[in-house]
Amino acid sequence: MLANPSGLHSRPYCPHRSLFSLTSRRCNLFLSLNCPRFVSPHKPKPSSLSRILSRKCRERFGIRALVDPDVSSVVSDDAPFFPQAVSVRIPYGDRHILVETGQIGRQASASVTVTDGETIIYTSVCLADIPSEPGDFFPLFVNYQERFSAAGRTSGGFFKREGRPKDNEVLICRLIDRPLRPTMLKGFYHETQILSWVLSYDGLHPPDSLAVTAAGIAVALSEVPSSKAIAGVRVGLIGDKFVVNPTTKEMEDSQLDLLVAGTDSAILMIEGYCNFLPEEKLLEAVQVGQDAVQAICYEVEALVKKCGKPKMLDAIKLPPCELYNHVEEIAGDELVKVLQIKSKIPRRKALSSLEEKVITILTEKGYVSKSESLGTVEMVPDLLEDEDEDEEIVVDGEVDEGDVHIKPISRKSIPQLFSEVDVKLVFKEVTSKFLRRRIVEGGKRSDGRTPYGIRPINSQCGLLPRAHGSTLFTRGETQSLAVVTLGDKYMAQKVDNLVDEGEYKRFYLQYSFPPSSVGEVGRMGAPSRREVGHGTLAERALEPILPSEDDFPYTIRVESTITESNGSSSMASVCGGCLALQDGGVPVKCSIAGIAMGLVLDTKEFGGDGTPLILSDITGSEDASGDMDFKVAGSEDGVTAFQMDIKVEGITLPVMEKALLQARDGRKRILAEMSKCSPPPSRRLSDYAPLIHLMKINPERVNLIIGSGGKKVKSIIEETGVEAIDLQDDGIVKITARDLSSLEKSKLIISSLTMVPSVGDVYRNCEIKSIVPYGAFVEIAPGREGLCHISELSSNYLPKAEDAFKVGDRVDVKLIEVNDKGQLRLSRRALLPETVVEKPGGEDANDSSQDTAASHKALVKSKDKKIVNMPKDASAEEKVQHIKANFSSLKQIRTPKDNSGEGTLTPRKKAFKKIATPAKDLPDMSKDMTRNSSSRTTSGMTTKEGSELVNGEAKVG
């Protein structure tokens, strides 16, 4: 039903007498120079107004300009078309914000720009010209958008233009909407749209609380009929000090993230997250926030008096009082019985049937008519643009661009007395009244509980065998199926907005509310704003109990699907999510639960003593009919998340204190019921969950695992079958695998690649990976190879390495050198028994024997005894016998026969390294060696047991 049936002057712009008068045959337009809407900065065109009207309209209406005799009949060209810009500074915590209006968006009902530091928010408020159909939900629409250009960058995705709202923007839309809605007067049905943009962001002053304040100022300056101006502030707890509107840098050390919104006298909305803070500390924070909100609201009220527009109070249309009496008389007795039905669906159907009965009876009695053919009223819309005194005919089709046309308005009927919509609105209010009276007077709620009662709780874990963790949590007629999925960092959720640039969330909770949960048919699509808000609340509530990434290097996803709903579904998600985390093997710090509290503020109206009545664990009907929805989540000792929405004009701190303490008692009872979960949480990783292992290596050796262009790490993944290997600059290596065997293989390869070998280490049973002309590459550990030069492969002379070895052979090698590039030089010959050189008898026999003895001047002990150096004057025979006695497995190398004799035992040429010790250390007999001798000395020899003889000392490899 229209508030003003004439349809004229539905949006008064300035305080002056009505601009229109309606006669039976003509519509007279009165122009006044005091009205900015009809003052043009340009000279009027002779035919601008006549072009608006068609010939038929001209026949029906006559328009003439009436000029006030006290003023000149000539409109001055210098008269301003728009109001002048106004700017004020308002206290905002320990600093001031700049509020400007009248410069940007002047055609909106109201628009403001609010500046905090270098963060600028622009907010506009607009109204629809024609009211929509009456309803029980105020037609308010809020849109908030963060332009990436505000931070000097563009979107990181494929689409560079801002489109669908991100989750962070949706949450801020809800922050703006929730405190504004209770201040809107009932009976106003013009659609109202609030648009808010972040035009500039300095990275220091967060835009969310600033956007709430900007919206409150814009609504206060606009024509929207609201009760009081609102404002919002953030409160942080840094050390033991509360800080109002802290910067983003200060919030990094804050134990509390609280946003408070309200008026100069009451609290309308709070939302906060903390790390197990007690209720008393939270109340102190709310008080600090409320004091800051009051200071802002006082300044806003002064600004409204200076440049605010008149409120559209004449557009408010409420159902007549007589209708309330008729509905109570018809449905009163049956309503009392219906509200005693405990189950939600039968009660809802009974209420719907009773509503139809009321409409039918009132229609039969003649109070309600569904026909719209009775009576009509002509309606003329506002003229928004240029007008002219002369009346000219407009040729069809000749219309300048930008001119506003008068569209034909369908004629609506005037009901005989009441409309059907009014009856439905009144029936809902009467139902709410009877429900409150039942609770206050009788002390019983619809399901039979007392105000402090908790609904029956049942929980089961491990329902889904392939899920990593699952829980079905049921509280009364509200049920949540919570599922936990574990993964590596690639499962993390990327956060791309102004505040969190390029961050990744390792824990996130996604809440879904299908229409089947309330027994209805509905459309499925993208998550609604309600779903995003409820999911974030449950996510922030569970976050403090999670282990650190070092202790549990998994990305955690929780899905909460509401399978039944009758109130407090977000808090059921908290309870179910906590149990599902435990069932998935996540080592949570403790268990937490959530509960929703309700309120009947004015109990005196319903037979009480006037003391506010707090309801624990409210249902859907108590939420819809009550005055508050206060959600609190936490453990027995402290709170982790809380959110309060008020449906009246605010509550005081004493009421909030009572609700918080009652919520603490309720949480303790819910936690006790959760401990009785059957079957209980498994508290271990599922067999189907990925395995993640953390390794700490030298940061300087990370590149050895990565390899050129990432080839090495890719080859390790392909070879071992692991899912991913994540390398960090600080030396942390995270390996993700589906089975233990592949995980162990990758661990062995990485350990080998990053180990720091030392000269002298011996490696047994190593595989030859490749053979080259100058030697062989031997794998001493998985993924770690070294070069064994051809001269170090054997005691014999080898013209080609492939003559004695092939790829795949296994050998024992010793590390003899590590160069500056980290390349390894290996030796097989160093582990082979030393060759004993003998010459046939003759005059040079003693000299030959002496040469052999000189090549072994330093003999070391074996594992149990030391071999002393032989004297220089020992005979060749004594020296050979001494060596044979200590090393029984020495091999002799026979050279091919030559012309000098048969069967001569002498080492091949190039079979040994050059002497490592200086020449001055050699025995004296070395100068008796002949020039033609082909034998060379070695720097050491190796025993069977692996002991190395170097310069007469034992070094065990």
* CATH classification (class only), 691-754: alpha beta
Q: How far apart are CA 151 and CA 120, in angstroms?
A: 11
pLDDT band at residue 370, thresholds of 50, 70 and 90? low
Which tens digit of pLDDT belongs to each residue from 144-161? 999 889 988 887 667 778
Q: How far apart are CA 404 and CA 258, in angstroms?
A: 47
The pLDDT assigned to 916 comes to 36
Q: How many CA atoms lie within 13 A of 871 on its CB side?
A: 4
CATH 1.10.645.10 fits 86-315, yes or no: no
Q: How far apart are CA 275 and CA 824, in angstroms?
A: 53
Topology of domain 457-675, CATH: Ribosomal Protein S5; domain 2 (3.30.230)
The pLDDT assigned to 703 comes to 87
Share of the chain above pLDDT 90, in %: 48
pLDDT band at residue 823, thresholds of 50, 70 and 90? confident
Sheet holding 65-66, edge to edge: 20-22, 27-30, 65-66
Q: Rounded mean pLDDT of the chain?
A: 78
State how far the alpha carbon of 810 is from the alpha carbons of 768, 813, 829, in Å: 6, 10, 14
Residue environment code for 434-469, b if the CB has 16+ CB neighbours within 10 A, otherwise e: bbbbbbbeeeebbbebebebbbebebbbbebeebbb
Per domain, the residue ranges of the chain are 86-315, 321-368+416-442, 457-675, 691-754, 761-831
Share of the chain above pLDDT 70, in %: 73
Question: CA angle, 277 as apex, 276 and 281 as ends, to 5°?
Answer: 170
Which tens digit of pLDDT belongs to each residue from 728-751? 888 889 999 998 999 999 998 888
Question: CATH: 3.40.50.300, 1.10.10.400, 1.25.40.10, 3.40.50.261. Which one for 321-368+416-442?
Answer: 1.10.10.400
What is the sign, positive or negative, of the torsion defined by CA atoms of 72, 73, 74, 78? positive
CB 195 within 8 A of CB 560: no
The pLDDT assigned to 159 comes to 75
Question: What is the CA 517 to chain-centroid distance, rounded?
Answer: 26
pLDDT score of 947 more than 80: no
The pLDDT assigned to 633 comes to 96
CB 647 within 8 A of CB 180: no
The pLDDT assigned to 501 comes to 67
Q: Supply the DSSP symbol for 901.
A: B
The reply to whether 761-831 shares the fold of 691-754 is: no
Going by C-alpha positions, the residue among 267, 187, 202 that lies closest to residue 232 is 267
Q: What is the pTM of this model?
A: 0.71
Which tens digit of pLDDT belongs to each residue from 838-849? 444 444 444 444
* Token code pair at residue 233: 């502030």
* Token code pair at residue 697: 């290596």
Domain 761-831: assigned CATH number: 2.40.50.140
Going by C-alpha positions, the residue among 293, 310, 178, 295 that lies closest to residue 230 is 293
Going by C-alpha positions, the residue among 939, 932, 874 that lies closest to residue 906 is 932
Least confident range from 341-345, 862-866, 879-883: namely: 862-866
